[in-house]
Copies of this chain bind each other. A is one copy, B any other.
């Protein structure tokens, strides 16, 4: 049950959920981009990305002065299914841009 709780806790926060939604396009995104798009402070974004990484949801890669985050390709299928369902639920109506 622990892994499910870890996953759910990681997703149950607005900034992190928004970040996961963005990262779920399968591509890489640097922290500075997320900061710009989501309109949050840098330290806040950095910490939340560290939390998502800690939860095993994303992985990071250093690229010059940037750190690029992306969806963890080794995420177990059962957990990926949960996130897919969550992200899918965000596609509904006004959720496309609403906070």
Query: A82 touching B86 by the CB < 8 A rule?
Result: yes
Nearest residue (CB) in B for A89 is B78
Query: A78 touching B82 by the CB < 8 A rule?
Result: no
Q: Which residues of B contact A78 (CB under 8 A)?
A: 85, 88-89, 92
Nearest residue (CB) in B for A8 is B12
A-B residue pairs, 10 tightest by C-beta: A78-B89, A8-B12, A9-B12, A82-B85, A12-B12, A85-B85, A81-B85, A8-B11, A1-B95, A4-B89
Q: Which residues of A contact B (CB under 8 A)?
A: 1-5, 8-9, 11-14, 17-18, 78-79, 81-82, 84-86, 88-90, 92, 95, 98-99
